Structure 1
Amino acid sequence: VILAGIISLVINGGPKLSIDFKGGTLVSVQYTEDMDITTVRTAMGNVNIDGQSFDFSREEIKHFGGPSAILIRVPHIEGAPQNFAQKIVDHLYSAFPEKVPESKTDFILGKGTVSPKIGSELSGKAVMAIISALGLILLYISIRFEFIFALGAIAALVHDVLITLGLFSLLGYEISLPIIAAFLTIVGYSLNDTIVIFDRIRENAKTSKREAYHGVVNRSINDSLSRTVVTSLTTFVVIFILWLFGG
């Protein structure tokens, strides 16, 4: 998975970034009836904004939480008119007058614009957050255990993040700010299990001095395996419920 992910990242020129990092406009609206994506794309093929004609039919257009809600992502456009997001909302509202709620407030689920400069700053801060987290983890484990243990922990953490990042690249998913938070959460859970195993290795090494070190490591992993499985399953149940009811 890691190798396939790395190949995908190289071919695609890196991970697919959301407008949080690239800059752009995001609009999500709610119709009163189910909407066909192809029909929406056709309607977005000729959008007139302040006398300028835009073709958004090839941009990201998809359902959002249900078949009657539509989400549109548009990359940053130089010289875009003011209130660009609102103008897109107005076009979507007027394009299907028979399928919109009476109040435009009920029609708009969300809208926003991120400039490339802000996106670049957020990208830099996200990278610094991950590097800082790994650096502090290296320091903590070096103090708590040994430096060689810290290197092993960092390798394990990078391994876990690379698997997730590779899957995102293979499946074409975007990296956004919430995803960065998810990566840090993965690092936290992985570190928690790693420290438990390291602690068990240290305890078993003291009581089994005649046993080969690799045997101590294997036994320590087996001793803590049930705890790791139970913790992971408990977390999975919570996440599944959030996904099921929260979308």
Structure 2
Amino acid sequence: MSKIGSLGARLHRGEVGYDFVKNRKIWYGISILITITAILGLAVRGLNMGIEFQGGAVFTTPKHMTTSVSQAETYAEEASGHDAIVQKLGDGSLRIQIAGIDTGKSDEIKDALSKDLKVNPEQLNADLVGPSWGKQIANKAWEGLAIFMVLVVIYLAIAFEWRMALAALVALIHDITITTGIYALVGFEVTPGTVIGLLTILGYSLYDTVVVFDSLKEQTKDITKQTRWTYSDIANQSINGTLMRSINTTVVALLPVAGLLFIGGGVLGAGMLNRHLAVAVRRPRGRCVLLDLHRHAARRRPQGARAADEGPAQARPGQAGAGRRAGRARGAGRRRVLRRGARGRRPRGRRPARAGRLPQPGPWPALREAPV
């Protein structure tokens, strides 16, 4: 553990670090591959919307039922003519969910289920959701998500700059796309709790992004006044400086969520899937999404400030020859001025004396003898 703490301190001081800017294309490639897979999952399988969004009925049986889940699913599908989802709760009761049915037929389905399950119809609880109410809930969920993202972009544009706000928006869309795609591939039901989980994902995603952006803004405040560090170097330092803290918070957050996901089971496990994805998915993206910002910043800075993005002042290819040619031209111009006198060219014989120097003998190399 002491080695891990020492590594974190060295990362924060900039003594060691991972070159995110240099290797950003690898992470972008992995992210694009996962995103394409998620989009294909959404296009092929689609989301398994719960009855809260498409309407239907939920029947709850008494406690300590001896009927198996598969047998209850068969009874429900035969009684309703629709696909049914049956879950066994902790007290032994069964939760039978049938989506897309007409609420007017709920009494018939209830009677058939009570006969097949051999329970009293009065003990079989039925909760009905109309299709119009489900559509209203879905619209409200999308409106809340859109308003949240707009407010986040406005805040980041004011606190930092619009380029960072745009990068954060792309990161949020990336995280939501991957999470919903995994939901489609796994086949978990989408409920209002899933929407709450998506908002949680946005919170997790923004936390890491804002931390990195704040560090980047603080360290690039006076970048135009020096040429020692490039914008890429400072971006790497900002990401590496917060890397260990992000790893620690990720591990601490994943432990309880993973316990509920793998041990809780049922509705509890399904509800924890999006929380687990929220913590796990955001890390690689949060470290790589802003790695191209130095190019945008270099474009908007004046020419003198762009030198800070190109590194320390040094002779680039082609500059050395140009410098020598310019020096020879300046020297030739000075010699021409010295050769001219009040009546034309100076006579051959001695060089003109400069202030603080004695005349030196010798002819001018390129000076012809003036006529007498």
Alignment TM-score, normalising by the size of structure 2: 0.55
- Given that 2:49 and 2:189 are in contact with CA atoms closer than 8 Å, whether structure 1 keeps it comes out as yes
Take 2:190 and 2:152, find their aligned partners in 1: how far apart are those partners? Answer: 23
Query: Is it true that 1:39 corresponds to 2:71 in the alignment?
Result: yes
The residue that corresponds to 1:220 in the other structure is 238
1:73 CA drift (Å): 2.0
Query: Is it true that 1:80 corresponds to 2:104 in the alignment?
Result: yes
Distance 1:204 1:65, change over 3 A: farther
Q: 2:192 aligns with which of 166, 177, 180?
A: 177
The residue that corresponds to 1:22 in the other structure is 54
The residue that corresponds to 2:87 in the other structure is 63
Name the structure where strand makes up a greater proportion of residues: 1
Identical counterparts, % of pairs = 28
| 1:25 counterpart SS class | strand
- Given that 1:18 and 1:175 are in contact with CA atoms closer than 8 Å, whether structure 2 keeps it comes out as yes
Take 2:47 and 2:70, find their aligned partners in 1: how far apart are those partners? Answer: 27
- Given that 1:35 and 1:68 are in contact with CA atoms closer than 8 Å, whether structure 2 keeps it comes out as no
The residue that corresponds to 2:303 in the other structure is none
Query: Is it true that 1:140 corresponds to 2:155 in the alignment?
Result: yes
Q: Provide the aligned length of Structure 1 versus Structure 2.
A: 229
Q: 1:5 aligns with which of 35, 38, 42?
A: 38
- Given that 1:63 and 1:71 are in contact with CA atoms closer than 8 Å, whether structure 2 keeps it comes out as yes
Distance 1:114 1:104, change over 3 A: closer
The AA in structure 1 aligned to 2:59 is V
The AA in structure 2 aligned to 1:44 is A
Of structures 1 and 2, the larger Rg is shown by 2
The residue that corresponds to 1:50 in the other structure is none
Q: Deviations over 1:80-125 (max 9, x none)?
A: 24xx2x664554343233xx6x9965x65xx422111111111111
Take 1:28 and 1:79, find their aligned partners in 2: how far apart are those partners? Answer: 16
Q: Deviations over 1:166-225 (max 9, x none)?
A: 101111122211101100110011101110010111122236653121221122111111
| 1:206 counterpart SS class | coil
| 2:60 counterpart SS class | strand
- Given that 1:29 and 1:89 are in contact with CA atoms closer than 8 Å, whether structure 2 keeps it comes out as no
Take 1:137 and 1:89, find their aligned partners in 2: how far apart are those partners? Answer: 47
| 1:159 counterpart SS class | helix
- Given that 1:26 and 1:72 are in contact with CA atoms closer than 8 Å, whether structure 2 keeps it comes out as yes
The AA in structure 2 aligned to 1:32 is H
The two structures, once aligned, show a CA RMSD in angstroms of: 2.7
Matches within 5 A, 1:159-174: 159-174=174-189
1:163 CA drift (Å): 1.1
143-152 vs 158-167, which moves further: 158-167
The residue that corresponds to 2:133 in the other structure is 118
Distance 1:41 1:78, change over 3 A: closer
| 2:67 counterpart SS class | coil
The AA in structure 1 aligned to 2:81 is D
In the alignment, structure 1 segments of 5+ residues that lack a partner are 48-53
